[in-house]
C-alpha cells in the first residue's frame, strides 16, 4: 500500500485500486446519507462518494483535502470513474468565499476577480488563459531555438530609456538615477553584435503609461527577437509570420480543451497582407472618411484597417510598413529610396497593434547622426553606441506584447484578463 499521491487524470487507469488523491473541494452536496464531493486538481475533476462515517464533518468549498479510497467504474461521471472514500483529511480549510467560484459563467466584475486573484484563477475559464499562455510561450521558444536563436536575459535596471518618450519609470540606484527598462532593445542588438547573431528574450518590461486603457499595462511581458546578417526588413517580417504560424498550430494541437472552454477557434494562419502606412492612411481617408495622426495610426484607425483586411483578404493580421522617421525610435534604419521613411513595421492583429519591429542602423556614424537628429545626446547612450565600434552586422527584429497578443488570440475584452497579476495606474496589489 503506497500513500503516494495519484493525479485525477490517472484515475481511469487505476480502477479497483486503493489510491490517495489531493486537491480542492469544488463542490460538496448531500443526497440523504451519501455525500458527493467533487475534487479538483491540476489535471481535472473527480467525483468522490462519502458514506455516512466520512459525511459528518462540514467542509467549506475550495478547501484543500486528501482523500483515500477505492476507484470504481461508473457511467454517472464523464471520466467513467469515481472514488469510494474511506478517509478524508482537511489539509487546509478555506474561509467563506467572497464570490461563488464554481459557476460555469462567472458573473463577477473584473476588479473583484483581480482583487481575489488566487481564487478567481481557479475558475476553469480563467485557468485556461494561463495554461494557453504557458504553451504559447513554449511554442515560441521551441520554434526560435530550432531556427538557431539563443535565449538571452538582459538587465531591467538601466541607465537610459530605449524607446524614447516620457513613459519611463525613474528611481534611485544608490547615488545614481536609473530607469526600469521599457524594452531590451539596446541589449538584444548588442547580443547580436556579441556573436550570437540570433537572439530572443522573454521578460517583463515597464512603461509608465499615465492613463488606464483596456490594452496597456505598466508592466508587461515582451517577446523580443533580434536577428543579424539580414538583407532587408522583409526577412524580419517573414520570421515573425513563421513564428506565429508555428505557435498558433502548436497551441491548437495541445490546448484544444482550453480553447473549447473559452469557445475560441484558432484558424490556420496563412500569408499576412502588407501595406505601407501611407496606403493605410489613404484607405482610412477614402473608405472610412477618417483622418489619422501624422505618421501613425490611432486606436480607431487600427480598428478600421483591421476590418478592411478582414473583408478584403480574410486575414486577422496585417503588416503596416514604412513609418516615417519622425515617429520611429532613433535606432530605426532609414529607407534607402526615401530617407524620410524607415524600414520598419507594425503588425496589427484583429485591429490592434501587437508588434513593432524593423531593421536597425548598424553603423556607428549613422547611429550617432540619428541620435542627434532626434535631439538626443549621444554621450548619454555611450555604452550602446560604442558597441558598434566593434562591428555589428546588418540586423533587425521585433517585439510582441505577450498579454496583448493573448488578449487578441483569446478574444478577451481587457488586457488585465491576460495578466495573472496586472499592474495598471491604480493597481499595485495583489
Ligand atoms: P507603443 O506605444 O509601444 O508602440 P501602443 O500600442 O501603445 O504601443 P501607440 O502607437 O503608442 O502604440 O498608440 C496607439 C494608440 O493607443 C494611440 O491612438 C494612442 O492614443 C493610444 N494610446 C497610447 N498609449 C496609451 C495609453 N497609455 N493609454 C491609453 N491610450 C493610449
Ligand atoms: P513597442 O514600444 O511598439 O516596440 O512595443 C512593442 C509591443 O509591446 C506591446 N506594448 C504593450 N503591451 C502592454 N502594455 C503596454 N503599455 C504596452 N506598450 C507596448 C505592444 C507593442 O506592439 N523595441 C521595440 C520593438 C522592436 O522594434 O523590436 C518596442 O519596444 O504589443
Ligand lying nearest the CA atom of residue 205: 2
Confidence of residue 31 (pLDDT cuts 50, 70, 90): confident
User: Distance between CA 412 and CA 358 in Å, rounded?
Assistant: 28
Judged by its nearest atom, the ligand closest to the C-alpha of residue 407 is: 2
Q: Is the CB of 299 under 6 A from ligand 1?
A: yes
367-417 per-position pLDDT tens digit: 999 999 999 999 999 999 999 999 999 999 999 999 999 999 999 999 999
In the predicted structure, residue 289 carries a pLDDT above the cut 90: yes
In ligand 2, the atom with minimum distance to the C-alpha of 207 is 16
The mean pLDDT of 80-87, rounded to a whole number, is 96
Instruction: Compute the distance from residue 91 Cα to the ligand 2 centre, in Å.
Output: 44
Q: What value, to the nearest 5°, has the Cα angle with vertex 42 and ends 73 and 98? A: 110
Tell me the pLDDT tens digit for each residue of 158-168.
999 999 878 99
Tell me the catalytic residues. 207, 209, 215-216, 353, 356, 404
Q: Which of 222, 353, 426 to mutate to test the pocket of ligand 1 (most atoms within 8 A of CB)?
A: 353
Cα-atom radius of gyration of the chain, to the nearest Å?
A: 26
In three-state form (DSSP H/G/I as H, E/B as E, the rest C), the secondary structure along the chain is CCCCEECHHHHHHCCCCEEEEEEEEEEEEEECCEEEEEEEECCEEEEEEECHHHHCCCCCCCCEEEEEEEEEECCCCCCCEEEEEEEEEEEECCCCCCCCCCCCCCCCCHHHHHHCHHHHCCCHHHHHHHHHHHHHHHHHHHHHHHCCCEECCCCCEECCCCCCCCCCCEEEECCEEEEECCCCHHHHHHHHHHHHCEEEEEEEEECCCCCCECCECCEEEEEEEEEECCCCHHHHHHHHHHHHHHHHHHHHHHCHHHHHHCCCCCCCCCCCCEEEHHHHHHHHHHHHCCCCCCCCCCHHHHHHHHHHHHHHHCCCEEEEECCEHHHCCCCECECCCCCCEECEEEEEECCEEEEEEEEECCCHHHHHHHHHHCCCCHHHHHHHHHHHHHCCCCEEEEEEEHHHHHHHHCCCCCHHHHCCCCCCCCCCCC
Distance of CA 57 to the CA centre of its chain: 42
Select from 226, 239, 355 the residue to mutate for testing ligand 2; criterion: most ligand atoms less than 8 Å from CB: 355
Assigned C-alpha cell, 211? 492613463
**Which of 220, 360, 402 for a ligand 2 pocket mutation test, highest count of atoms within 8 Å of Cβ?**
220
pLDDT digits (tens, 9 = 90+) for 185-200: 999 999 999 999 999 9
353 lines ligand 1 (CB under 6 A): yes
Read off the C-alpha cell for 58.
462540514
pLDDT at 39: 98
pLDDT at 2 over 60: no
- Which ligand is located closest to the Cα atom of residue 188? 2
- Asked if the ipTM is above 0.90, the reply is yes
User: Could you tell me the distance, in angstroms and rounded to a whole number, from the CA of residue 361 to the centre of ligand 2?
Assistant: 19
Strands 5-6, 34-41: parallel, antiparallel or unpaired by DSSP? unpaired
User: Residue of the nearest CA to atom 25 in ligand 2?
Assistant: 399
Grid cell at residue 132: 494557453
pLDDT at 204 over 80: yes
Contact 297, 305 (CB under 8 A): yes
Q: Is 240 near ligand 1, meaning CB less than 6 Å away?
A: no
Ligand nearest to the CA of 425: 1
Residue 145 near residue 125, CB atoms below 8 Å: no
Q: 290 C-alpha vs ligand 2 centroid, how far in Å?
A: 25
Kindly indicate the confidence band of residue 1, based on its pLDDT and cuts at 50, 70 and 90.
very low
Binding residue positions = 163, 207-209, 215-217, 353, 356, 360, 401-404
Segment 166-185 shows an average pLDDT of 96
Residues 6+ apart with CB under 8 A from 12: 79, 80, 81
For 111, phi then psi, to 5°, come to -60, -45
CA of residue 103 to ligand 1 center, whole Å: 36
CB 211 near ligand 1, within 6 Å: yes
**Closest by Cα among 143, 136, 274, 137 to 198:** 143
Query: How remote is the CA of residue 365 from the centroid of ligand 2, in Å?
Result: 27
Peptide bond connecting 430 to the previous residue in cis, omega within 30 degrees of 0: yes
Q: Measured in angstroms, how far is the CA atom of residue 115 from the centroid of ligand 1?
A: 26
C-alpha cell at 206: 515597464
The rounded percent of the chain whose pLDDT value lies above 70 is 99
CB of 170 shorter than 6 A to ligand 1: no
Q: Is the CB of 213 under 6 A from ligand 1?
A: yes
- What would the mean pLDDT of 66-88 be, rounded to a whole number? 96
Amino acid at each position: 500500500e503506497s500513500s503516494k499521491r495519484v493525479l485525477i487524470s490517472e484515475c481511469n487507469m487505476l480502477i479497483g485500486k486503493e489510491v490517495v488523491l489531493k486537491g480542492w473541494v469544488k463542490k460538496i452536496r448531500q443526497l440523504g446519507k451519501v455525500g458527493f464531493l467533487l475534487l479538483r486538481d491540476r489535471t481535472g475533476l473527480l467525483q468522490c462518494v462519502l458514506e455516512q462515517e466520512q459525511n459528518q464533518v462540514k467542509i467549506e468549498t475550495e478547501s484543500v483535502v486528501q482523500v483515500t479510497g477505492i476507484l470504481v467504474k461508473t457511467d454517472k461521471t464523464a471520466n467513467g470513474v469515481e472514488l469510494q472514500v474511506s478517509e478524508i483529511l482537511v489539509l487546509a480549510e478555506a474561509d467563506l468565499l467572497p464570490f461563488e467560484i464554481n459557476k460555469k459563467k462567472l458573473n463577477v466584475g473584473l476588479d473583484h476577480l483581480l482583487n481575489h486573484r488566487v481564487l478567481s484563477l481557479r475558475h476553469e475559464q480563467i485557468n485556461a488563459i494561463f495554461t494557453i499562455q504557458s504553451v504559447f510561450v513554449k511554442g515560441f521558444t521551441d520554434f526560435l531555438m530550432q531556427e538557431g536563436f539563443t535565449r538571452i536575459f538582459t538587465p531591467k535596471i538601466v541607465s537610459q530609456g530605449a524607446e524614447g518618450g516620457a513613459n519611463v519609470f525613474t528611481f534611485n540606484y544608490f547615488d545614481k538615477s536609473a530607469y526600469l527598462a521599457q524594452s531590451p532593445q539596446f541589449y538584444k542588438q548588442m547580443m547580436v553584435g556579441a556573436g550570437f547573431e540570433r537572439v530572443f528574450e522573454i521578460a517583463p518590461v515597464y512603461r509608465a503609461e499615465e492613463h488606464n486603457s483596456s490594452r496597456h499595462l505598466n508592466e508587461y511581458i515582451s517577446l523580443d527577437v533580434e536577428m543579424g546578417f539580414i538583407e532587408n526588413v522583409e526577412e524580419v517580417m517573414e520570421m515573425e509570420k513563421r513564428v506565429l504560424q508555428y505557435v498558433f498550430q502548436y497551441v491548437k494541437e495541445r490546448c484544444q480543451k482550453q480553447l473549447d472552454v473559452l469557445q475560441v477557434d484558432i484558424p490556420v494562419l496563412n500569408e499576412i497582407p502588407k501595406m505601407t502606412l501611407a496606403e493605410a492612411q489613404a484607405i482610412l481617408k477614402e473608405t472610412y472618411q477618417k483622418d489619422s495622426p501624422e505618421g501613425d495610426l490611432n486606436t480607431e484607425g487600427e480598428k478600421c484597417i483591421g476590418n478592411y483586411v478582414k473583408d478584403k483578404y480574410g486575414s486577422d493580421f496585417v503588416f503596416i510598413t514604412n513609418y516615417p522617421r519622425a515617429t520611429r525610435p532613433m535606432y530605426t534604419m532609414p529607407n534607402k529610396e526615401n530617407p524620410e521613411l524607415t524600414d520598419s513595421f507594425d503588425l496589427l492583429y484583429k485591429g490592434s497593434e501587437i508588434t513593432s519591429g524593423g531593421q536597425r542602423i548598424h553603423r556607428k556614424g549613422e547611429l550617432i547622426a540619428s541620435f542627434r537628429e532626434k535631439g538626443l545626446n549621444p554621450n548619454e547612450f555611450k555604452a550602446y553606441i560604442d558597441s558598434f565600434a566593434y562591428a555589428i552586422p546588418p540586423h533587425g527584429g521585433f517585439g510582441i506584447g505577450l498579454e496583448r497578443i493573448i488578449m487578441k488570440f483569446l478574444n478577451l475584452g481587457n488586457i488585465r484578463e491576460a495578466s495573472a497579476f496586472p499592474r495598471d495606474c491604480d493597481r499595485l496589489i495583489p
